[in-house]
Amino acid sequence: MFTQRITAALAGATALSLALAGCGDSGGTSSSSGEAVTSLSILDYYNNEPDKSLVQKGLDACATKLGVTLQRETVPGADLIPKVLQQASSKTLPDVLMLDNPDVQQIAATGALAPLNDLGVSADGFTQGIVDATSHDGKLYGLAPVVNTIALFYNTKLLAEAGIQPPKTWDELRAAAKKLTKPGRYGIAFNANATYEGAWQFLPAMWTNGGDETDLTSPQVAEALQLWVDLVTSGSASKSVINWTQGDVKDQFVAGKAAMMVNGPWNIPSLNESPQVKWDVVQFPVNKPGQTPIAPLGGEAWTVPLNKDEAKQQKAADFVKCLSSDDNELAWAKARFTVPTRTALGPQYVKEVPSMKAFSEQVANARSRTGKLGEKWPDAAKVIYQAIQLALTGQASAQDAFKKASGS
Amino acid sequence: MVHAPTRPSRSEAPATQAVRRAGGRRRRSEDLTKLLFVLPAAIAMLALFGYPVVKNLVMSLQDYGLRTFFTGAAPFVGLDNYVTVVTDRLFSKALVNTALFTIGSIAFQFAIGLGLALFFRRKFPLSSLLRSLLLLPWLLPLIVSSATWRSILEQDNGILNRSLAGLGIINEPVPWLNSPSVALIAVIGVNIWIGIPFNVTLLYSGLSEIPDELYEAGSLDGATGWKAFLHITMPNLRAVAGVVLVLGVVYTIKVLDIILGLTGGGPANATQTLATQSYERSFVDFKFGEGAALSNILIVLSLLFAIVYLRGTRRAVDE
Amino acid sequence: MPDSTLRRGVFTAIGVLILCVMLFPVYWMINASLQPSGNTLTAGFLPLDPTFAGYRRALSEQGQNLVTSMIIALGTVVLSLLVSAPCAYALSQFRSRWVGAGLLAILVSQMIPGIVIANALYTAYENLGLLNSVPGLIVANCSSGIPFAILILRSFLQSLPASLVEAARVDGAGLVRAFVSIVLPISKNSLITAGLFTFLFSWSDFLFALTLTTKGDVRPVTLGIYQYLGTQVQNWNAVMATAVLSAIPAIVLLIAAQKYIAAGAIGGAVK
């Protein structure tokens, strides 16, 4: 106990002197310690099992390869950014930082991250959507080894009973949802809550129909919102969608209270734990024939915060590069039901994990949320989820909701 | 403040005067001792709160954004943040909701809490055990109790609607958390549930400090039942009831977790309060200056209430 | 008197009924903890087909966290009461123009959002080496414990008859001795009440635990619960089980503490 406190005090003193050293040395000259880098600190939000251990495996493999030891800290998802800000203001950012991909540009814009191009890391061969998300002002700031997206899960047994094929168009979706709705069961479940998650779930409909975050008052966007409104007002989806998280949506689906759901592949392990539910996945339906289903890209990128210690910064960049090696991408993709970002790995991956076929197809055309608006994306996302809330609670029509939500 | 509300009116006992006369040297050393009574707490308060208060004030006058954490640059913008948050279209709604939430919560928590405290004062088997168990909800992490309440209040499958329908009280499921006109009531209801144990326990302790002799003497004068409550219980409970109310308001006005856990401020902003708005501005929009401005407005509001309370106690002293 | 026995029986019945209503959500949580899904979507009123997987997991993974929570909460109670009892006595009995200002300052401290305090403490702890330490978390939790205890204790001490202390003073006891040997013993009730809530505040703290720890070695159970709540996947079954399990030792403690309140009423001591 006592020795622990002494160690803590010493560690504190070291941190303080490092911080002071950092303050004094603002000339930008390298203060490379000259010694070999033996350890890297990491911050991420894979705080729950099994993800925590699965990610650890990949991290350990690269650590062994680069001959370093790791100090990893994990925090709950919602607390990552507050933690990063706190560490930023006390100059204690980790050597390697995981960020949710839509946050990368915002953090990069503050000048906190090292451009990876200068450190010998490139994103050649990666799916374009994710490169857009992790680049800012033409420079690459992070690499996402694996990504995910959302698509349409359906209960194969319930659809077969009703004699319905998985819907390919919105009309088919409306009809199928209606037909699948029975007492105690809704045709479809999705998340339309007042958070970024609610906005994210709306994007497949919005983007597939040609809507765009740069012009939210367009008829294409309104049409997409009308789809959500129709599903709820017709009783094919619960009124509770305005309060559901994606986790709630999954629970409804597993409990047999919803025949279809919009959700992501991270649910597959828990779906597999409920063998009574037989399911499959298709891409999100299109409004009109000829449209391509476009969904948002999810997943986390690994970045390197700027570091005075150049040797350490280089090591961290090498580490990030290693995490996106072919081997590691495949290993993580298989273990965690995500899609590898190196497009060349796609065919082999789908062969090995057939349940990820629809998601892999969906990822091929997926877009990143921050691709067009960059750090302005959160403002647009806020308008989106507020408009959805207004429309689904009957306070505005689908046509007016976006105007009203943006306050104009 | 010249007049300090230090203690209830009570004529000074002769003993005090005797002590007072005991000479200046002893008084000085006693003043020092008195200081020592307060010093540890004063240091703790200053260390724990001094910096945050000042920081929050300064921050509210700055353009303090995501960038500030990395670069340290936070230009002063005067009262811009206050103007921005006050002219926001959600401000008046959040203000009204905050008032409804606080008044609704406190009124019911206190009334029910006092009722239960009086009830548990009656001596009956298991009363102390039952009273202790009443605190159980406070041992649950808020994330768990709000998740549980969400499932209870769920429109289609929630046990509340199922039970009410089963009893024939309702025909249509009540959209507890789904309708902008009902959600605030539901959220207040949950907050009342959370606050009751706090009120019961403190008021009960207050009640048990009232000497039984007072009631015995009162009953001789014919003060029983309501009369005893009005003329014996209420006056003697005033100090404790006052602090329960003022702390209740101070804590309720800044309630955040439970609203975020139940509705996240929705549906369609129906349950936004100043506290949730302040949180949103700081940690969703990363406009920390505006968030600080809102939380300072919140502090001023509860400060006004605290001053009213302090005046109240002072009047009680002067009576 | 059979009549009075009957009446008291009725009161007990009413008491049990009130408790059932108040604790229904707790029951519902227990019900959820026994469902494999961790939710009550398809659950009946009774968990007829219970699973104990969540409990097994919680028991094997959260034991250490539970001990940590307990140490921190008890430490906070002790430190808060040590600091606040003398201060509360001073504020209730000493005459000074500063009393009003002091009270106001204490009240204001309770209005500050916790996150503001947590962020300020982080920077300070970083320099003091108090991050990831039990003492650090105890001090942080005192930020809610001390002001609360001062206000509560003061409101109780106000009704303390001044004659009691003065009698002792005449007998030659100093201020400190009078406080320790007279004021504290007869304030047992209010000390326990204040301590009770200080315990509860500290027990339920999540914010300080999250902000002021960076490693897994010091982790209260409120934070430990988050290892089941991922960003995308939540294991509610284990979450609910952990919540139930962690409430058990604490409620035993609370019941023991509350017994004293009934026992030591001030009336007896004042006579």
Mutation choice for A interface testing from B70, B90, B151 by most A CBs within 10 A: B70
Q: Given pLDDT bands bounded at 50, 70 and 90, which one contains residue A348?
A: very high
Q: What is the domain extent for residue C175?
A: 64-262
Token duo for residue B41: 């707490």
Number of domains in chain C: 1
Measure the CA–CA gap between A284 and A298, rounded to whole angstroms. Answer: 15
- Greatest Cα pair distance, chain A, in angstroms, is 73
Asked if A243's CB is within 8 angstroms of B268's CB, the reply is no
Q: What is the pLDDT of residue A49?
A: 81
Considering only CB atoms, A238 lies closest to which of B70, B156, B286, namely B156
Pick B24 or C208 by higher pLDDT. Answer: C208
Is the pLDDT reported for residue B224 higher than 90?
A: no
Radius of gyration of chain B, Cα coordinates, nearest whole angstrom: 25
Tokens 């968030």 correspond to what residue? B291
Judge whether A276 is closer than 8 Å to chain C, CB to CB: no
Is the pLDDT reported for residue B26 higher than 50?
A: yes
Pick B14 or B66 by higher pLDDT. Answer: B66
Residue B55: C-alpha distances to residues A49, A367, B257, C43 (Å): 38, 41, 23, 49
For C:48-107, CB contacts with B below 8 A are 82-84, 86-87, 89-107
Is residue C200 a part of any domain in this protein? yes
Per-residue pLDDT tens digits for A304-345? 999 999 999 999 999 999 999 999 999 999 999 999 999 999
Radius of gyration of chain C, Cα coordinates, nearest whole angstrom: 23
Asked if C231's CB is within 8 angstroms of A45's CB, the reply is yes
Pairing of strands A186-189, A258-263: parallel
Percent of chain A with pLDDT over 90: 82
Q: What is the pLDDT of residue B239?
A: 85
Average pLDDT over residues B166-188: 92
Q: What is the pLDDT of residue C82?
A: 95
Is the pLDDT reported for residue A69 higher than 90?
A: yes
Is the pLDDT reported for residue B223 higher than 90?
A: no
Per-residue pLDDT tens digits for C209-241? 988 988 778 899 988 888 888 878 888 889 999
Lowest mean pLDDT among A91-100, A191-200, B302-311, C141-150: B302-311
Is residue C23 a part of any domain in this protein? no
Judge whether C211 is closer than 8 Å to chain A, CB to CB: yes
Average pLDDT over residues B180-199: 94
Q: What is the pLDDT of residue C258?
A: 74
Per-residue pLDDT tens digits for A6-41? 444 433 333 333 333 333 333 333 444 556 889 999
Is the pLDDT reported for residue A408 higher than 80?
A: no
Considering only CB atoms, A251 lies closest to which of C41, C130, C231, namely C41
Q: Which residues of C236-247 are buried (b: 16+ CB within 10 A; e: fewer)?
A: bbbbbbbbbbbb
Mutation choice for C interface testing from A2, A90, A337 by most C CBs within 10 A: A90
Q: What is the pLDDT of residue B10?
A: 39
Candidate CATH numbers 1.20.120.640, 1.10.230.10, 2.20.25.90, 1.10.3720.10; the one for domain B83-318: 1.10.3720.10
Q: What is the pLDDT of residue A12?
A: 38
Report whether the peptide linkage leading into residue A50 is cis, meaning its omega lies within 30 degrees of zero: yes
Pairing of strands A139-140, A135-136: antiparallel
Q: What is the pLDDT of residue C261?
A: 61
Contact B6, C104 (CB under 8 A): no
Lowest mean pLDDT among A250-259, A277-286, C99-108, C132-141: C99-108
Shortest distance, CA B268 to any CA of chain C (angstroms): 24
Per-residue pLDDT tens digits for A164-190? 999 999 999 999 999 999 998 999 999
Measure the CA–CA gap between A317 and A305, rounded to whole angstroms. Answer: 10
Judge whether C40 is closer than 8 Å to chain A, CB to CB: no
Is residue C146 a part of any domain in this protein? yes
Average pLDDT over residues B224-248: 88
A147: closest CA among A345, A379, A377, A351?
Answer: A345
C150 CB burial (10 A radius; 0-12, 13-18, 19+): buried
Is residue C59 a part of any domain in this protein? no
Residue C84's domain is classified under what CATH number? 1.10.3720.10
Is residue C178 a part of any domain in this protein? yes
Measure the CA–CA gap between B255 and B146, rounded to whole angstroms. Answer: 13
Contact B191, B273 (CB under 8 A): no
In the three-class reduction of DSSP (H, G, I as helix; E, B as strand; rest coil), residue B178 is classed as coil
Three-class HEC string of chain C: CHHHHHHHHHHHHHHHHHHHHHCHHHHHHHHHHCCCCCCCCCCCCCCCCCCCHHHHHHHHHHHHHHHHHHHHHHHHHHHHHHHHHHHHHHHHHCCCCHHHHHHHHHHHHCCCCHHHHHHHHHHHHHHHCCCCCHHHHHHHHHHHHHHHHHHHHHHHHCCCCHHHHHHHHHCCCCHHHHHHHHHHHHCHHHHHHHHHHHHHHHHCCCHHHHHCCCCCCCCCHHHHHHHHECCCCECHHHHHHHHHHHHHHHHHHHHHHHHHHHHCCHHHHHC
Shortest distance, CA B62 to any CA of chain C (angstroms): 15
Token duo for residue A27: 């000339």
DSSP 8-class letter at B231: I
End-to-end CA distance of chain C: 29
Pairing of strands A135-136, A339-340: unpaired
* Strands of the A96-100 sheet, one edge to the other: A69-74, A39-44, A96-100, A300-303, A142-143
Residue A260 backbone phi and psi in degrees, to 5: -135, 160
Radius of gyration of chain A, Cα coordinates, nearest whole angstrom: 23
Crossing angle (nearest 10°) for helices B142-153 and C24-33 = 90
Shortest distance, CA B253 to any CA of chain A (angstroms): 22
- The CB-side HSE value for C227 (13 A sphere, CA atoms) comes to 17
Asked if A264's CB is within 8 angstroms of C232's CB, the reply is yes
In the three-class reduction of DSSP (H, G, I as helix; E, B as strand; rest coil), residue A100 is classed as strand
Structural domains in chain A, CATH included, are 38-148+298-364 (3.40.190.10), 151-295+373-405 (3.40.190.10)
Residue A226: C-alpha distances to residues A209, B297, C232 (Å): 12, 39, 27
Considering only CB atoms, B69 lies closest to which of A88, A242, A407, namely A88
Per-residue pLDDT tens digits for A80-90? 998 898 889 88
Q: Which residues of B122-157 are buried (b: 16+ CB within 10 A; e: fewer)?
A: eebeebbebbbbbbbbbbbbbbbbbbbbbbbbbbbb
- The CB-side HSE value for B70 (13 A sphere, CA atoms) comes to 18
Looking at this protein, which amino acid is placed at residue C86? P
Is residue C34 a part of any domain in this protein? no
Per-residue pLDDT tens digits for C195-213? 988 999 999 898 899 889 8
- CA A306, chain centre distance (Å): 23
Q: What is the pLDDT of residue C187?
A: 87
Per-residue pLDDT tens digits for C5-51? 888 889 999 999 999 999 999 999 999 999 888 888 888 888 888 88
Token duo for residue C261: 């309140």
Residues of C in contact with B30 (CB under 8 A): 175
Asked if B295's CB is within 8 angstroms of C151's CB, the reply is no
Q: What is the pLDDT of residue C271?
A: 30
Pick B127 or C198 by higher pLDDT. Answer: C198
Q: Report the chain B residue with the minimal C-alpha distance to residue C149.
A: B41
Token duo for residue A225: 């919102």
Q: What is the pLDDT of residue B66?
A: 86
Q: What is the pLDDT of residue A141?
A: 96
Please give the mean pLDDT across all residues of chain B.
85
Per-residue pLDDT tens digits for C38-95? 888 888 888 888 889 889 988 888 989 999 999 999 999 999 999 999 999 999 888 7
Measure the CA–CA gap between C267 and C271, rounded to whole angstroms. Answer: 7
Q: Given pLDDT bands bounded at 50, 70 and 90, which one contains residue C148?
A: very high
A261: closest CA among A289, A233, A291, A241?
Answer: A241
What does the domain layout of chain B look like in residue ranges? Answer: 13-59, 83-318
Considering only CB atoms, B254 lies closest to which of C29, C113, C139, namely C113
Is the pLDDT reported for residue B182 higher than 50?
A: yes
Q: What is the pLDDT of residue A121?
A: 93
Lowest mean pLDDT among B8-12, B59-63, B288-292: B8-12
